[in-house]
Amino acid sequence: MSMTVYTGSSNYPFANEYAKHHGLSVGNIEISRFENSELRVRVLDEAVDSQVTLIQSLSHPTNDHLVEFCLIADALKRAGAKQIQAIIPYLGYSKQDKVFRAGEPLSVKVIANILQTAPIDRITTFDLHNPSIVGFFDIPLVNVYARPAFLEYFRPTVGARSIVVAPDAGSMKNSTQFAMELGLQVAYIDKKRDLATGKVEIIGMSREVEGSDCILIDDMISTGSTLIEVSRFLKSRGARSVRIGVTHHLYIDGVQEKIEASEIDELVVSNTISRKVDGEKLKEISVVGLM
Ligand code: R5P
């Protein structure tokens, strides 16, 4: 059974690697714009498989990538695809998974509704900001954990001084599991974020890290505030090194530069979002094989 892979413009390297990994071909899509800047897409393949995979990360520019995704899915359906499996390596708007302040929308639910107006049958994604986002979808949504890829990366470097640090409450469960799998203790950080300014403050930590080599995993780096502030705090408490694995680096302008200047010693990111910047501390690993 053939199952051509189609991709939007967000992450060609991921789509090419996925196709290669599964011995599939990448279909031809033309993506351009009308004079008024509206997106214009066209499936160029004369015959489209009845089952296809469509890959698109909802990364910056998120709104364009969302519309592109919906248009390509519609075009594929009209060109003859009967079943469309979507892979959305990074689900944009997932940080807005709650009504944090009165008057705000439940944004990720709105995005779930929009995505489901496209003729797709199922979605696979990585490390949702909050696993309960799955409940906002009526079609099957598979949330793949990137943790095994970080385990493989960090395990060979674990030593007697290594400790896992959970950077905030949201990361406790995943970090505890990660620490168990590495056979390490875990320190929990109590973090507070000002919802209006985004400023991050560290309130405390469950155990001391003096002389330790800290390993952290987190679902995303957006502004970088959390991990930069946590690293500063850990170093101020005597940590020897701070190395971090992050599934989604949103590559916001200027953030990698801040990371380079921070107390973070190494930042390992997955390839769910196509890389646009370089950094001496930055390394990329692939999560394609985890699906
Ligand atoms: C928090 O709940 C998340 O796990 C990340 O730590 C957070 O979203 C990162 O955001 P920023 O880089 O803006 O601190």
Digit-coded pLDDT (tens) for 13-72? 999 999 999 999 999 999 999 999 999 999 999 999 999 999 999 999 999 999 999 999
**What is the per-residue pLDDT for 269?**
98
Sorted by where each begins, the domain ranges of the chain are 4-144, 147-290
**What is the per-residue pLDDT for 2?**
58
pTM: 0.95
Among 279, 154, 262, smallest CA distance to 217 is for: 154
Tokens read off for 280: 């001496």
The size of the chain, in residues, is 291
Residue nearest to atom 1 of ligand 1 (CA): 170
Question: Which residue type sits at 179?
Answer: A
Domains 4-144 and 147-290 belong to one CATH topology: yes
**What is the per-residue pLDDT for 196?**
85
Among 65, 55, 68, smallest CA distance to 16 is for: 55
- Measured N-to-C along each axis, helices 62-78 and 107-115 cross at an angle, to the nearest 10 degrees, of 20
Ligand 1 close to Cβ of residue 219 (< 6 A): yes
Give 200 Cα–ligand 1 centroid separation in angstroms. Answer: 10
Domain 147-290 fold: Rossmann fold (3.40.50)
Ligand 1 close to Cβ of residue 223 (< 6 A): yes
> Tens digit of pLDDT for each residue in 81-125?
999 999 999 999 999 999 999 999 999 999 999 999 999 999 999
**What is the per-residue pLDDT for 276?**
80
Q: Which CA distances in Å does 165 have to 13, 154, 161?
A: 31, 13, 13
Task: Provide CB contacts within 8 A for 214, sequence distance 6+.
Answer: 162, 163, 164, 165, 187, 234, 239, 241, 242, 243
The preferred substitution site among 174, 222, 244 for testing ligand 1, maximizing ligand atoms within 8 Å of CB, is 222
Predicted confidence band of residue 3 (pLDDT cuts 50, 70, 90): confident
The preferred substitution site among 178, 220, 228 for testing ligand 1, maximizing ligand atoms within 8 Å of CB, is 220
The preferred substitution site among 219, 223, 251, 252 for testing ligand 1, maximizing ligand atoms within 8 Å of CB, is 219
Ligand 1 close to Cβ of residue 118 (< 6 A): no
Classify residue 288 by its DSSP letter.
G
Predicted confidence band of residue 280 (pLDDT cuts 50, 70, 90): very high
Task: Check pLDDT > 80 for residue 1.
Answer: no
Q: Which CATH number fits domain 4-144: 3.40.1160.10, 3.40.50.2020, 3.40.718.10, 3.30.930.10?
A: 3.40.50.2020
Residue of 98, 191, 235, 283 marked catalytic: 191
Strand 29-33 to strand 39-43: parallel, antiparallel, or no bridges (unpaired)? antiparallel
Ligand 1 close to Cβ of residue 27 (< 6 A): no
> Tens digit of pLDDT for each residue in 189-246?
999 988 888 899 999 999 999 999 999 999 999 999 999 999 999 999 999 999 999 9
Q: Is there a catalytic annotation at residue 283?
A: no
Ligand 1 close to Cβ of residue 222 (< 6 A): yes
